[in-house]
Amino acid sequence: MSSAMIEHADGLPQPQRNWAIFTIALGLLVAVIDGSIANVALPTIARDLDASPAFSIWIVNGYQLAITISLLPLSSLGEIIGYRRVYLAGLLLFTLASVFCALAHNLPLLTVARIVQGFGAAGILSVNAALVRFTYPRDLLGRGIGLNALVVAISAAVGPTVASFILAVGTWPYLFAINIPLGIVTLALGLRYLPHTRPAVHAFDWQSAGLSAVAFGLGIAAIDSAGHGEALYLCLSEFAIAAVACLLLVRRQTHLAAPLLPVDLLRIPIFALSIGTSIASFCGQMLAFVAMPFYLESHFGYSAVQIGLLITPWPIAVGFAAPIAGWLVERYPAGLLGGIGLLVFAVGLGTLALMPAAASPFDVIWRMALAGAGFGLFQTPNNRTMIAAAPRERSGGASGMLGTARLLGQTIGASLVALLLARFPADGTRISLMVGVGFAVVGAALSMLRLSTAGSQGAERVRVHESQRLKGE
């Protein structure tokens, strides 16, 4: 039996570990980057497919919504049948859906293909952190979590830049076609190097999975319906059904030993505050990412290629700030770093929204860099706090909630842009940026709440205890 078929007690041996790490990072890269790579091309795609800007948002919404409603169920399924199987199945589905995205010739077909692609991405994202846990030795697990956070941050931000280079040499279908060779390579590496894990003994909770899909799906659909001017009774009905499903889901989880929605972790104050901070911050980020291409095109006349290049300082700043934040969090409270980072992020978005009509490229560049630096300062400390606040035996649930919070925030943000573009056609993009400022400030306030004496001391005890236990084991 090959080493890949053995579940190792303390991570994978070398060189399999390095190849597995590379495979996990590559899969995470293509799944996350595809959530933002289409943003720059939305105006181009809308014109090419004869669709309105508000309805073209579903190219982004459909992808994010599919991930959001299936992330927790697929994470639970990974515990039962093995994380490796869910990851590889998701990667295969993602690659096949990319083929149909590249071949789509109208908006409905492209939207359906993007939704299927989103379900494939959910298979990758739902078990990514769990695979990291079985790949790294226990004393290096924190490094793996930090690397994941950095890959997610850079991938989410670099999408527009990648899109600009692709659009400079080809048409928008190549944005999706590029996933095909990357998916094939990652699939081949995954079959050879990803770790095997022992399956759990409990059965898959189909009822909780259904309630989760209804709660998240209809909640986002209600926001979109309001944005497109649907009847008030329809919007209220969707909100009401989503709320009832959410209540039933939470009630069901309190009676389960292995809850699909980890309500036990949400009872930990610092964990709940970190989740709230993450949702608010990623909502602000997605408001900016989706609105920015339309904003720079309609207000300043930039082309798709120019827009992608002007957004490039954002991921560069994230790449510089995230490692610095990882060093600072060893010395300063994560609540303080997260609060400062999100306030800097808010200032960056606010200055972008208030740019003068005759703004030069440099005016855009330094504002983009400021927003990216603030976001990079926030994310790594926040993710580390979430993982450290959870007991070790519940690290899988914590990882699932980490991804769910990020994707829920991104999906709400994209839906709000659709709402604002439909309600305010002339200035919806600028308003979207200002709403993003509001979410960033809310996130900063939630982050600062973790600085309370009891919360900060409790977090420190958890962090020290976790560190000691990792070293002892």
Q: How many domains does the chain have?
A: 2
The CA distance from 88 to 84, in Å, is 6
The CA distance from 303 to 351, in Å, is 21
Asked whether residue 168 falls in the same domain as residue 119, the answer is: yes
The CA distance from 23 to 188, in Å, is 9
Asked whether residue 23 falls in the same domain as residue 138, the answer is: yes
Residue pair 181/193 in contact by the 8 Å Cβ criterion: no
Structural domain harbouring 231: 206-255
Asked whether residue 119 falls in the same domain as residue 230, the answer is: no
Asked whether residue 277 falls in the same domain as residue 298, the answer is: yes
CATH of the domain at 409: 1.20.1250.20
Asked whether residue 433 falls in the same domain as residue 395, the answer is: yes
Distance of CA 66 to the CA centre of its chain: 12
Query: What pLDDT, in 10s, does the model give residues 315-336?
Result: 888 878 877 887 787 778 888 9
* Confidence band, pLDDT 50/70/90 cuts, at residue 352: very high
Give pLDDT, residue 250: 85
End residue of a domain, out of 255, 278, 295: 255
* Confidence band, pLDDT 50/70/90 cuts, at residue 121: very high
Asked whether residue 194 falls in the same domain as residue 213, the answer is: no
* Confidence band, pLDDT 50/70/90 cuts, at residue 461: very low
What pTM was estimated for this model as a whole? Answer: 0.74
Q: CB-side exposure of 468: number of CA atoms within 13 Å?
A: 6
What angle (nearest 5°) sits at the alpha carbon of residue 120, between those of residues 14 and 80?
A: 65
Is the alpha carbon torsion for 342, 314, 175, 29 positive or negative? negative
The CA distance from 194 to 19, in Å, is 8
Give pLDDT, residue 436: 94
Asked whether residue 218 falls in the same domain as residue 184, the answer is: no
End residue of a domain, out of 214, 234, 255: 255
Q: Where are the alpha helices (DSSP H) in 199-312?
A: 206-227, 232-253, 263-266, 269-300, 304-311
The CA distance from 222 to 93, in Å, is 28
Give pLDDT, residue 437: 95
